[in-house]
Structure 1
Amino acid sequence: MSKNTHIYGTRAIIEAINAGKEIGKIYLQKGLNNPLFKELELLIRDHGISTSYVPQEKLYKLSDQNHQGAIATISPIQFADFEATAEAILMSEKPGLFLLLDQLTDVRNFGAIIRTAACTGVDAIIIPKSGGAPVTDDTVKTSAGAIFNIPICKVDHIKDALFYLQGSGVQVVAATEKTEDSIYDLDYTTPTALVMGSEGKGVTAGVLKLVDHKAKLPMTGSISSLNVSVACGAFLYEIVRQRR
């Protein structure tokens, strides 16, 4: 872990959160129970920061610094305000295109998706404050710098963004194998939000219940699923094709 993108120590992380630093994820040592540690835990909950409780050995693998049982990653980007970003996009003459990532966990998949999104005209990417992949050095590298050219917004829950977009006239389409409808059966020429799920579980059941459409990619070989970044690219380029 590079020192310039991480904060070590309970007090230092508390001060960083209070100062408004963009914290990607916090790793906390299991079993600690001192007052300062409890103060940090409360602050983490209040700000909805993604957190993992790990053994002490894991922290020492992450860093040989005097971490006091807590290491935080600093996001290399500033996140955009969701409602202000969505409003500006929806006021544009061209139909908006939003990408919602529901519990995506792999930072390299995240970076690859950002790169494809930037190449296909996605106007904004929306991720949850907790439970998803953090923005790390690997994310930036895999995105080939595209992460600096597309707004990324954090929301308390993907459902919050979904309700807002639907209320603004945006159709929400979930990429999922749990449907008989093909990607090619839908019209993407209107304002659209595409929801991609996690690598293992796909789009969560609660989100699937709320979307306007579900669509899947046809599979003709012996392998029944695609990597999420590849599947996302296939969906986005079908949208590009229809909008040309």
Structure 2
Amino acid sequence: MSQYSFGIHAVQSLLEREPKRVRGLLLQQGRKDKRIQQLIDLAKHHRIKIRHLDRKELDQMIDGVHQGVVAEVEAVQIRNETFLEQLIQQLEVPPFLLVLDGVTDPHNLGACLRTADAAGVQAVIAAKDKSAPLNATAVKVACGAADTVPYVVVTNLARTLKQLQAAGVWITGTAGEATQLVNEASLTGPMALVMGAEGSGMRRLTRENCDQLVKIPMAGSVSSLNVSVAAGVCLFEAVRQRNG
């Protein structure tokens, strides 16, 4: 199964990290600049077929800003509960996971994957229902992180959280009404951070399966942050504590 990855940065990351997944490189006719030449050189080095199309053809193929660069790639592998169980068993360091509950925007999913990669998260987990698809838009926004951070889709998120708890993973949920600030909570050791959808937050069953709830201190008039920004704040507070 194939999908498209687009945009200069996302395609370059693919060519550098996982060239074997790239089946073909599509470039806009007439584009000749240094960055495009770098992509051409990488593709030729890995013996990847290059085709030149006019802009209208690329526009029809891609729903987004492609910058004249599209790669046909093997679809990113979506993992399941079995993979997650094996991952937890094989880790030589404490689990550090990100759970997305009801995040349905592919842009937010991609940004969360990118943030998770930067923080050293070992997997991003989401429920099969009411979750964003790992489509070309999400992959582009992730800027290569969709290939490095496993995306685990589970059938029943509440059950998965219970299984993580049974494996010794501490579940920290984020909620605006929480009394504990994220910087006051203990985020060391085996942990999973749960981020809910903007506005509605975590679902009831998800909330009930959290070991603790935290919130981000907000000094201004805005009541909430974009989910990927909030995830970054919380994940890097955990990184600070874990490294300290």
TM-score (norm 1): 0.68
Q: 1:192: which partner in 2?
A: 191
Deviation string 1:57-113 (CA, Å, 9 cap, x unpaired) is xxxxx99xxxxxxxxxxx931112333333333443321111111010111011000
Amino acid of the structure 2 residue aligned with 1:157: N
Kindly indicate whether the alpha-carbon contact (under 8 Å) linking 1:183 and 1:217 is maintained by their aligned counterparts in 2.
Answer: yes
Q: Which residue of 2 aligns with 1:169?
A: 168
Matched position secondary structure for 1:222: coil
Counterpart of 2:117 in structure 1 is: 118
Does the residue aligned with 1:231 lie in a helix, a strand or coil?
A: helix
In 1, distance between residues paired with 2:96 and 2:172? 11
1:129 and 2:128 matched:
yes
User: d(CA) in 2 for partners of 1:161 and 1:92?
Assistant: 18
Q: Which amino acid aligns with 2:220?
A: G
Q: C-alpha distance in 2, partners of 1:85/1:239?
A: 21
**One-letter code aligned to 1:161:** T
Flag as ranges the 4+ runs of structure 1 deviating above 6 A. none
How far does the alpha carbon of each residue in 1:36-61 deviate from its partner, in whole angstroms, 9 at most, with x for none?
xxxxxxxxxxxxxxxxxxxxxxxxxx
2:183 is paired with a residue whose SS is helix
Task: Indicate the SS of the match to 1:217.
Answer: coil
3-state SS, counterpart of residue 85 of structure 1:
helix
Counterpart of 2:182 in structure 1 is: 183
Q: Quote the Cα distance in structure 2 between the aligned partners of 1:218 and 1:86.
A: 34
Distance 1:169 1:175 in 2: 19
% identical equivalent positions: 37
Counterpart in the other structure of 2:95: 96
The count of residues paired between Structure 1 and Structure 2 equals 177
Q: Which residue matches 1:151?
A: 150
Segments of 5+ residues of structure 2 without an aligned counterpart are 5-60, 63-73
2:213 aligned counterpart, secondary structure:
strand
Any conservation in 2 of the 1:90–1:96 contact (CA below 8 Å)?
no
Equivalent residue, structure 1, for 2:238 = 239
The amino acid of 2:163's aligned partner reads Y
> What one-letter code is carried by the residue in structure 2 that aligns with 1:184?
N
Residue equivalent to 1:228: 227
Letter in 2 for 1:81: N
Letter in 2 for 1:149: T
In 2, Cα distance between equivalents of 1:129 and 1:81? 10
Change beyond 3 A, Cα 1:136–1:88 = closer
AA of the residue aligned to 1:76? A
Partner Cα separation in structure 2 for residue 93 and residue 178 of structure 1: 35
Question: Aligned AA for 1:187?
Answer: S
Deviation track 1:212-242 (CA, whole Å, cap 9, x = no partner) reads 0000000011111111110000000001101
Cα distance in 2 for partners of 1:90, 1:215 equals 27
Deviates further, 197-206 or 166-175:
197-206
Contact kept? 1:76, 1:137, Cα under 8 Å:
no
Unaligned residue ranges in structure 1 (runs of 5+): 7-61, 64-74
CA distance in structure 1 between the partners assigned to 2:78 and 2:84 by the alignment: 10
Q: Give 1:115 deviation, angstroms.
A: 0.3
Q: Is the 8 A contact 1:106 1:133 kept in 2?
A: yes
Q: Which amino acid aligns with 2:149?
A: I
